[in-house]
Structure formats: structure tokens, C-alpha cells
Amino acid sequence: MDIMISGLRRRFGRVEALRGVDLAVPGGMFGLLGTNGAGKTTLMRVLAGVLPPTSGRVLVGGHDITTRAGRLAVQRRLGYLPQDLGLYPDLTTHEFLDYVGLLKGLDDDAARRRQIGELLDMVGLADVARRRLKGFSGGMRRRVGIAQALLGDPALIVVDEPTAGLDPEERIRFRTLLAQIAGHRTVLLSTHIVEDVAQTCQEAAVMASGRVVFTGPVTGIIDRAQGATWEVVTQGPPPSTGVVVSAVGRPGGTHYRVVSPTKPDPAAVPVQPSLEEGYVALMREAVPS
Amino acid sequence: MRRFFAVCRYEFRMQIRKRSLWLSTAGLAVLIAVAQGDRGPRYLPADADAARVMGSWALLFSMLLPIGFGMVLADRLVRDHRLGAASLLASLPTRPGALVAGKYAGSVAATAVPALLALLVTAAGEFVHRGDPALFPSAVAAFAVVLLPGLAFVAAFALVGPLVLSAPLFRVLFAGYWFWGNLLGPNYLPSLTGTLLTPIGDYPASWLIGERALYAGTPGWLSFLRPEPGGGAALLSVVLLAVLATPPLVFASPLLARRTSS
Ligand SMILES: Nc1ncnc2c1ncn2[C@@H]1O[C@H](COP(=O)(O)OP(=O)(O)OP(=O)(O)O)[C@@H](O)[C@H]1O
Ligand SMILES: [Mg+2]
């Protein structure tokens, strides 16, 4: 299911969370990066049919999300993991998934149960299937969240910061899982963790203050810092121009990596940028400080 | 329809597991059994018929048990937002109407179970003294005509009220309403007590017991709402309660949708 968004606006009282978003999301895994408050969650809630747009056009798999019929058509093939999903503490893992499955319209009891079993195995929760959700750790809750999103074999999967707060191993497991299931589906992944996008997405968009400031192949983000990423080794203070992305103290002096359009220090040497550095360069252009 | 039953089933399951539901029912039921005074059903003559005994008990229970139920149910619709499950629910291909209807039916069922159980336990207690097996079917009948309509009425307001007010404020107002509109003697202040509109079930109880129960028909303010008790008046009372409970349920979906999308 591909997504076509044009001129999408959404306001909350005086706050305009989305100020004219234009975005095309093809199939496969697609990353959505952006600062806090950039509007990622708002965009995802609109796509999930939870929030009506204030104005603009949103087509998901050809269905107009602003009509009731279009919204239902999308929701029938959607898996959505909201940011900060809350689970019912008084249900067990299996019951919670069963409930979501029923509401998704998986009416065949045997098929639904089989699918829940497979998903529980997949996210490693099979042995706590009969335990109440009350008292689950953050990582376990996240896994339940992912499992419910995958129920019903959705063609579009929208996951809002699924890896926030997970330990590195768990995070890697998670994003690999998402990349595996991406296959012929569309997976829209929002995150603050640039590395997750670097490792799993071919294409990505970057949002800032309610607008999309970049969209295209992930390498395009890296290109933004091409010729603008430097390494400076010094025993003195850090370079004063540009953004210091990393600082590693070594015996010979501190190694700084700096994103700056101009050479930040006479001794600076140009280096190959990473995705994170590309992101920093992009943000400097988009939101001049 | 399948979605409705799914919501109903899970809502029921979640609520029936709530300790507060059982504790409030047990606490209030014990209070009623112990502190009912010498006009209570415990002191009915030994030859009183089963319908009268259980009808009187049902009326007593229905004076207090719904207060606990109203408190417990007050957060059932708003808690999806509090817990953070509302966005997920709104993203599922289930109509908000099915969600509200299912939650309502599940809530009524979940309060009906402890209420019916309380009456059956009472019937067992009475059976020990009176030895009349008809006490058990009478308990079920009394539950159905006296308690259940009131529970269904209370559930509608308890689910939807907190969407407009806040759950704590609703609870305070609800308790105030309960005493004013159901228990306060109608001769002191203008109140709904003893009218066809009281969810306590004075009219169905009067019909079941075969005499004027509690305040049913007591003259006073609003006397046109206090006809002579009887079968017709009992039925009218139940119908009126159902009619009154409908608007909040109808408004629940748009209220919920507004909450989710802001
Ligand atoms: N329900 C709401 N009511 C009022 N304002 C809102 C609401 N939801 C979002 N906003 C505002 O809209 C803007 C965008 O928020 P949004 O949650 O979409 O950002 P985000 O990119 O997901 O941020 P984060 O990375 O912190 O999750 C913020 O200024 C936020 O305060
Ligand atoms: Mg967010």
C-alpha cells in the first residue's frame, strides 16, 4: 500500500502540528526522522485514521482517508503501533491479542488463535502468553505492541518509535524483525534513532516543525554532510564553528567530528560523513539556530 | 455484531476481575443484611411468601449496591485514554457505536453478576430459616425486575457522565443524586424519590411484593409521576428508565471521537 500525502495540515487549537506535508511513501521499509514535536506522531495518527486532517489530501493504497469508507478500507489492512501504547493490565497477553484480533475482524477462531501463537513465538512472548499484562517490563510491552500490529497480516504497518527505551540487543532484534516483515508491505517507522533507519531503510523522510524537509534515499541524507564533515584533533577547546557530533578523548588529544559548511579549524581534515552527520547537517539547514 | 460481542465479552472479563467490584458489592450487601432495622425482610413473618421476601431483599440491595457500581463503572469509557489504548482502538476497523454498545452491555453484565449472586446467597440464607425452595426462582425474578433495570440505568450514566465531567466529579455528583433522587423522603424536599423514574425500583418491587414498597406512590411533589403501584406502573417505570438511559449512550460515540481526535 503506497501513501500519497499532499498539502496535509493539522492544527490543535493554536498549534499547527502539520503545516502542509507533501510526502510519497512507496512500498518497503520507510524511515521517518525528526526532532521532538516535529509532527511525526500527528502524521502517523492521521494515517491510521485516528485523527482527521484539518485540510489536505491523504491517499493510502488509493483510499481517501478523509472518507468513512476509505478510512475503514485502510484500517482493515493496517497494523498500527501508537507511541506510548497502553495495554489493559487485567488481560493476559493472549487475551489482549485475541481482543485486538477480533476487533480487526479476524473472525475465524482457529485461524486467529494460530496466528496469535505464531506471533507470540516471533516476538518471544510464548511463555508469558497466559500472564496478565500488569507488571510487564517496557520491552515486553513493546513486543506485545508489535505483535498486535502484525495481527491480520496488514499490508501497511505504521510504527511510532517502536524501539524507544529498548536495550541495544532488543532494539536490533526489533528493527531486524520489522525489516524482515517489510518484504512486500509498506512499513512506516518513526524514530529518533538514526542508526535504526540507517540499518533498515532504503528510503526516509525527515520532518521539522510540521514540514517534510527531506525525502528520498537514505544516502541522500548522508550527502547533505558531504564535504561538510571534519575531524579535528586538539588538546585545546573544541572548535567553535559548526556542530560537534562526537568527541573521543585519546592520549594525543581529543578527536572531534564536526559538521560545518566551512573548515572549522586550520588543522581540520575532511572525513566521510555518517547518516547521523547528514541528519545534523540537514537539521542545520532546516531549522537555522 | 461480532465486534459488539467481542467488546462485550472482553469488557465483561476485565471488569469481573476487578477486586473493587466484588469488594463494594460484598461490603454494601453485608451492611444491608446487618443494619436493615426491624422493618427489613429479615423480620418478615415466617409464612411470608417467597416473592415478598426476595422482592424486599432486592429492593434493599437496589438502594445501595448501584452506588458502588456507579463508582466502579465511572472510568470504564475514559480509561482507554488514561491507559493509552484509545489511539489503538480508534485505528481498528470497528465502528465506535459497536465499541460503546459492547462496553455498555459488558458493564451491565459485569455488575449484574455480583448483584445476582448477592441475592442468591441471601436466598440461600433465607432458605435455611424458611425452607421454601421457591425462594431461589423468586430471587432471580426479583433481580430481573427490581435490580437489573436500575443497574442498566446507572451503567449508562456512569459510563458516559465522566466523558463530560471528570470521573471524580461524576462520582461525587452521582452519590449526591442517589441520596437526593432515591432515598430522601419525598416529603421533605422536592425530589425524584418514589417516582416512576427512580432506578431503585420501588414500582417493580411493589408489584412483586403485592403492597406499597418504600416510597412508591407516596404523594408529594411531582405527584403525577407517582401513580398507584401495580403491574402497569411497574412496567411503565422500567420503560421510562430505559428511555432515559438512551440519550447518554447515543451521545457516547461522538463524545469519545471528539476526545480521541483532539
Ligand atoms: N492532541 C494534541 N493536542 C495539542 N497539541 C498537540 C496534540 N498532539 C500533538 N500536539 C502538538 O503538535 C506538535 C507535534 O507533535 P507530535 O507528537 O506529532 O510530534 P513528534 O514528532 O511525534 O514528537 P516526538 O518525537 O516528541 O514524539 C507538538 O507541538 C505537539 O505539542
Ligand atoms: Mg511522536
- B-chain residues near A104 (CB < 8 A): 92-93
| CATH hierarchy code of domain A3-216 | 3.40.50.300
Q: Is the pLDDT of residue B169 over 80?
A: yes
Please indicate whether, in this complex, the C-beta atoms of A72 and B93 are within 8 angstroms of each other. Answer: yes
Q: Where does residue B201 rank: exposed (0-12), middle (13-18), buried (19+ CB within 10 A)? A: buried
Task: Tell how strand A156-160 and strand A186-190 pair up.
Answer: parallel
Q: Please, which pLDDT band fits residue A289 given cuts at 50, 70 and 90?
A: low
The protein residue whose alpha carbon is closest to atom 5 in ligand 1 is: A12
Q: Is B28 within 8 Å of B64 (Cβ atoms)?
A: yes
Percent of chain A with pLDDT over 90: 67
pLDDT classification of B206: cutoffs 50, 70, 90: confident
Contacts of A95 in chain B (CB under 8 A): 10, 13
Distance CA B202, CA B121 (A): 22
**Out of B14, B90, B91, whose CB is closest to A90?**
B14
CATH 3.40.50.300 domain span(s) along chain A: 3-216
Cα distance between the two ends of chain A: 38
Mean pLDDT for B229-236 is 87
Is the Cβ atom of A50 under 6 angstroms away from ligand 1? no
DSSP B220: S
Contact A82 B83 (CB under 8 A): no
Do residues A177 and A123 touch, judged by C-beta distance below 8 A?
yes
Separation between Cα atoms, residue B55 and residue B62, nearest integer Å: 10
Which tens digit of pLDDT belongs to each residue from A216-251? 999 999 998 899 999 999 888 888 888 999 899 988
Residue in A85, A86, A91 nearest the CB of B14: A91
The pLDDT of A201-206, averaged and rounded, is 93
Q: Parse chain B into domains and list their residue ranges.
A: 2-260
Q: How far is ligand 2, taken at its centre, from the CA of residue A39, in Å? A: 7
Which ligand 1 atom sits closest to the C-alpha of A161? 27
The nearest CA of chain B is from the CA of A109 a distance in Å of 12
Distance of CA B113 to the CA centre of its chain: 12
Q: What is the ipTM of this complex?
A: 0.89
